[in-house]
Amino acid sequence: MKFSTTLLPLLTAAAPFAASEHTSNWAVLVSTSRFWFNYRHLANVLSLYRTVKRLGIPDSQIILMLPDDMACNPRNAFPGTVYNNADRALDLYGDNIEVDYRGYEVTVENFIRLMTDRVGEDMPRSKRLMTDERSNILVYMTGHGGNEFLKFQDAEEISAFDLADAFGQMWEKKRYHEILFMIDTCQANTMYSKFYSPNILATGSSEIDQSSYSHHADNDVGVAVIDRYTYYNLEFLETQVRDPTSKLTLGDLFDSYDESKIHSHPGFRYDLFEGGEAAARDRKVMDFFGNVQNVEVEGRNETGWIRDGAGLVKVSKPEPHGETVINRSEHKATQSLRKDGAWKVEEEQGWKKQVYGAAALVGCAGIWLAGSWLESI
Amino acid sequence: MAAPTGTDASLAAKPDETSSQSTTSPNSSPSARKLPPPESRESLLLRRLSILSFWVLVLFVGLPIWLKTTAIYRAELPLQEMTDWAEGKVCKPVFPLRIAVEAPVSIPDAHHLLRTTQHALDDINDFSAHHLRLMLADSPLQSNASQQVITDGTGIMSNDRDVALAIRLIPVETGTTPRSHLQPYTPMLDVYYSPNQIPSQSSTGSTLATFLAQELHNIFAEEQAQLVHLLSASSGAHAAKIKALSPETSAELQRQSTRVLKYAPTYHLTFSLFTPSYAPSAWDIETALQSYMSPLLDAFSAISNFTVDTQVQLYATFAPSIHQPEYDEEKKTWILHKEDLSGFVNAAEWPLSPSIGEGPTVNFILYVPDRTQSPLLIKENAGNSWLIPQWGGVHILNLQGEPDTPSALTADMLAPAMHTFSNQLISLFGLPQSPASLPLRLSTLERVRAASLIFSASSTLGALAQVYQKLPSIPVPDNVAQSTHRTIAHLQQACDFLRDGRFPSALEHARSAEVEAEKAFFERSMVGQVYFPDEHKVAVYLPLLGPIAVPLIMAALKELKSVFKRG
Judge whether A305 lies within some domain.
Answer: no
Q: Does residue A360 form part of some domain?
A: no
**Cross-chain Cβ contact B298/A316 below 8 Å:** yes
The whole-angstrom separation of Cα B219 and Cα A318 is 22
pLDDT at B7 over 60: no
In a shared domain, residues B281 and B420: yes
Q: Select the residue from B266, B289, B306, B387 to test the A interface by mutation, using most A Cβ atoms within 10 A.
A: B387
Confidence class of residue B145 from pLDDT cuts 50, 70 and 90?
very low
Query: pLDDT digit string (tens) for B162-220?
Result: 788 888 888 887 777 778 888 877 888 888 888 777 776 666 667 888 888 888 888 88
Are A96 and B348 a contacting pair at CB < 8 A? yes
* B209 and B275, same domain (yes or no): no
Question: Which residues does B54 contact at the CB level (< 8 Å), separation at least 6?
Answer: B552, B555
Of A144, A263, A331, A364, the active-site residue reads A144
pLDDT of B355: 59
Mean of the per-residue pLDDT values for chain A?
A: 81
pLDDT digits (tens, 9 = 90+) for B325-335: 888 888 788 88
pLDDT for position A192: 92
CB contacts under 8 A, B 525-544 vs A, are 525-528, 530-531, 533
Question: Beta-strand (E) ranges in A119-186?
Answer: 135-142, 145-146, 149-152, 156-159, 178-184
Nearest CA in chain A to B381: A297
Chain-chain contact of B301 with A172 (C-beta, under 8 angstroms)? no
DSSP A182-251: EEESTTGGGTTTT--SSSEEEEES--TT----EEEEETTTTEEEEEHHHHHHHHHHHHT--STT---BHH
Indicate whether B150 pLDDT > 50: no
Burial class (CB in 10 A: 0-12, 13-18, 19+), A154: middle
State the greatest distance between any 2 C-alpha atoms of chain A, in Å, as a whole number: 97
Query: Could you give the number of structural domains in chain B?
Result: 2
pLDDT digits (tens, 9 = 90+) for B25-34: 445 455 567 8
Q: What is d(CA B134, CA B97) in angstroms, rounded to the nearest whole number?
A: 8
The pLDDT tens digits for A286-326 are: 889 988 777 787 766 555 555 444 444 444 444 333 333 33
Question: What is residue A126's predicted lDDT score, i.e. its pLDDT?
Answer: 84
Same domain, B193 and B341: no
Helix (H, G, I), strand (E, B) or coil at B190: strand
Is B38 an interface residue toward A (CB < 8 Å)?
Answer: no
Interchain CB contact of A327 with B (< 8 Å): yes
- Please judge whether A308 and B185 are an interchain contact, meaning their C-beta atoms are less than 8 angstroms apart: yes
Q: Determine contact: B400 vs chain A, CB below 8 A.
A: no
Reduced to 3 states (helix: H, G, I; strand: E, B; else coil), residue B293 is helix
Peptide bond into A74 cis (omega under 30): no
- pLDDT score, position A373: 93
A230 contacts: CB under 8 Å, gap ≥ 6: A44, A47, A48, A142, A184, A205
Domain that holds residue B136: 97-221
A324 found inside a domain: no
Of B353, B383, B387, the CB nearest to A58: B353
Supply the ipTM of this predicted assembly: 0.78
Residue A343 has pLDDT above 70, yes or no: no
- Alpha carbon dihedral B480, B483, B485, B488, in 10-degree steps, equals -120
B523 CB within 8 Å of a chain A CB: yes
A285 in a structural domain: yes
Question: Which of B231, B242, B293, B301 best probes binding to A when mutated, by most A CB atoms within 10 angstroms?
Answer: B301
- Considering only the beta carbons, identify the residue of A23, A165, A333 that sits closest to B390: A23
Q: Is A186 a catalytic residue?
A: yes
Query: What SS3 class is residue B71?
Result: coil
Is A94 within the bounds of a domain? Answer: yes
Among the candidates B374, B406, B429, a domain finishes at B429
Nearest to A305 among B383, B427, B438 (CB): B438
Q: B230 near B452, Cβ under 8 Å?
A: yes
Question: What is the model's pTM?
Answer: 0.79
Q: How many other CB atoms sit within 10 Å of the CB of residue B123? A: 11
Q: What's the mean per-residue pLDDT of chain B?
A: 80
Is residue A376's pLDDT more than 70?
yes
Rg (CA), chain B: 40
Model confidence at A141, pLDDT cuts 50, 70, 90, reads very high
User: What tens digit of pLDDT does each residue of B247-269 get?
Assistant: 778 788 877 877 888 888 888 89
CATH number of the domain that residue B127 is part of? 3.40.50
Residue B283 pairs with which residues in a beta bridge? B409
Does residue A49 sit in helix, strand or coil? helix
| Interior angle at CA B389, CA B386 and CA B390, nearest 5 | 130
Q: What angle do CA A139, A31, A113 make, to 5 degrees?
A: 60
Q: Is it the case that residue B374 has pLDDT exceeding 90?
A: no
d(CA B512, CA B453): 9
Alpha helices in chain A (DSSP H): 2-18, 39-54, 108-116, 160-172, 228-239, 250-255, 259-262, 276-282, 286-289, 304-307, 309-316, 325-334, 351-376
Q: How many CB pairs under 8 A join A and B?
A: 215
Considering only CB atoms, which chain A residues are within 8 Å of B389?
Answer: 23, 293-294, 296
Based on the number of CB atoms within 10 Å of its own CB, is A105 exposed (0-12), middle (13-18) or buried (19 or more)? middle
Q: How many percent of chain B have pLDDT more than 70? A: 85
pLDDT at B148 over 60: no
pLDDT at B30: 53
- Do the chains contact at B292 and A295, CB–CB below 8 Å? no
Best A303, A327, A337, A338 residue to mutate vs chain B (most B CBs within 10 Å): A303
Domain CATH number, residue A222:
3.40.50.1460
Contacts of B442 in chain A (CB under 8 A): 315-316
Contact A176/A138 with Cβ under 8 angstroms?
A: no
Q: Give tens-digit pLDDT for A220-261.
A: 888 999 999 999 999 999 998 887 778 899 999 999 998 888
Measured torsion, CA atoms of residues A114, A118, A120, A122, in degrees rounded to the nearest 10:
50
Is B171 part of any domain? yes
Same domain as B412, residue B272: yes
Residue type, position B510, single letter: A
State how far the Cα of A18 lies from the Cα of A350, in Å rounded to an integer: 66
Closest by CA position to B307, among listed A122, A123, A338:
A338
**What strands, in cross-sheet order, belong to the sheet with B163-171?**
B130-136, B95-102, B163-171, B188-193, B179-182
Identity of the residue in B348, B378, B390 whose CB atom sits nearest the CB atom of A58:
B348
CATH number at residue B285: 3.40.390
Indicate the pLDDT class of residue B502, thresholds 50, 70 and 90: confident
Q: Which of A22, A41, A186, A215 is catalytic?
A: A186
Residues of B in contact with A243 (CB under 8 A): 321-323, 343
- Which residues lie across from B96 on neighbouring strands? B131
Q: B178 vs chain A: nearest CA distance in angstroms?
A: 27
Element holding B497 (H helix, E strand): helix B478-500
One domain for residues B209 and B328: no
Whether residue A7 lies within 8 A of chain B, CB to CB, comes out as no
Flag if A243 and B390 touch (Cβ within 8 Å): no
Q: How confident is the model at residue B95 (pLDDT cuts 50, 70, 90)?
A: confident
Same structural domain, B299 and B411: yes
Indicate which of A170, A316, A325 best probes the interface with B, i.e. most B CBs within 10 Å of its own CB: A316
- Chain A residues in contact with B294 (beta carbon < 8 A): 309, 336
**Would you call B214 an interface residue with chain A, using a CB distance cutoff of 8 Å?**
no
Query: Distance (Å, rounded) from C-alpha A71 to C-alpha A85?
Result: 15
Residues of A in contact with B319 (CB under 8 A): 56
Distance CA B190, CA B169 (A): 6
Which range scores top for mean pLDDT: A179-193, B275-289, B374-388, B528-542?
A: A179-193
How far, in Å, CA of B152 to CA of B141, rounded?
19
Give the nearest partner residue to B185 out of A54, A298, A315, using CB atoms.
A315
Residue A207: φ, ψ to 5°: -80, 175
Average pLDDT over residues A199-214: 90
C-alpha torsion B156→B160→B165→B166, nearest 10? 60
pLDDT tens per residue, range B55-70:
999 999 999 998 888 8
Name the nearest CA neighbour of B51 among B566, B542, B558, B543. B558
Answer with the residue of higher pLDDT: A309 or B319.
B319
For A222, the domain range is 24-289
* CA distance, residue A120 to nearest chain B CA (Å): 6
Residues on chain B touching A56 (C-beta within 8 angstroms): 319, 321, 342-343, 347
At what angle are helices B41-57 and B534-566 packed, to 10 degrees? 160
Are B291 and B213 in a shared domain? no
Are A303 and B422 inside 8 Å of each other by CB? yes
Euclidean distance between CA atoms A340 and A249, whole angstroms: 48
User: B188, B142, B143, B138: which is closest to B168 by C-alpha?
Assistant: B188
B307's CB contacts (< 8 A; 6+ apart) are B266, B267, B268, B269, B357, B359
Residue B228 has pLDDT above 80, yes or no: yes
Cα B224 from chain centroid (whole Å): 22
Quick check: A177 contacting B, CB < 8 Å? no
**Residue pLDDT, tens place only, B431-475:** 887 777 888 888 888 888 898 899 999 999 999 999 899 888 888
Interface check for B32 against chain A (CB to CB < 8 A): the answer is: no
Q: Do B262 and A301 touch (CB under 8 A)?
A: no
The last residue of one of the domains, among B221, B249, B275, is B221
* A281 close to B (CB below 8 A): no
Statement to judge: residues B315 and B414 lie in one domain: yes
- Residue A178 covered by a domain: yes
Residues B272 and B210 in one domain: no
pLDDT at B243: 58
Distances (CA, A) of B178 to B103, B139, B215: 14, 21, 11
| Residue A125: HSE in the Cβ half-sphere, 13 Å Cα cutoff | 15
Has residue B513 been placed in a domain?
Answer: no
Instruction: With beta carbons less than 8 A apart as the criterion, state whether A335 and B428 touch.
Output: no
**Mean pLDDT, residues B145-163:** 49
Q: List beta partners, residue A142.
A: A31, A184
Q: Locate the chain B residue with the closest alpha carbon to A314.
A: B185
Q: Does A345 touch chain B (CB under 8 A)?
A: no
Rounded to an integer, what distance in angstroms lies between the CA atom of residue B159 and that of residue A23? Answer: 41
CB distance from A284 to chain B under 8 Å? no
Burial of B448 (0-12, 13-18, 19+ CB in 10 A): buried
B24 vs A361, which has greater pLDDT? A361
Number of domains in chain A: 1
Distance CA B363, CA B406 (A): 24
> B residues 440-479 near A, CB within 8 Å?
442, 459-460, 462-463, 466-467, 470-471
How far does A135 lie from chain B, in Å, by closest CA?
11
B71 within some domain = no
Query: What's the Cα-to-Cα distance from A90 to each of A36, A50, A83, B317, rounded to whole Å?
Result: 20, 10, 6, 21
Q: Please indicate whether residue A144 is annotated as part of the active site.
A: yes
User: CA nearest B227: which of B388, B409, B451, B15?
Assistant: B451
Let me know whether B214 and B314 are in one domain: no
**Position B21 confidence tier, pLDDT thresholds 50, 70, 90:** very low
Chain B contact for A6, CB < 8 A?
no
How many other C-beta atoms can be found within 10 angstroms of the C-beta atom of residue A308?
Answer: 15
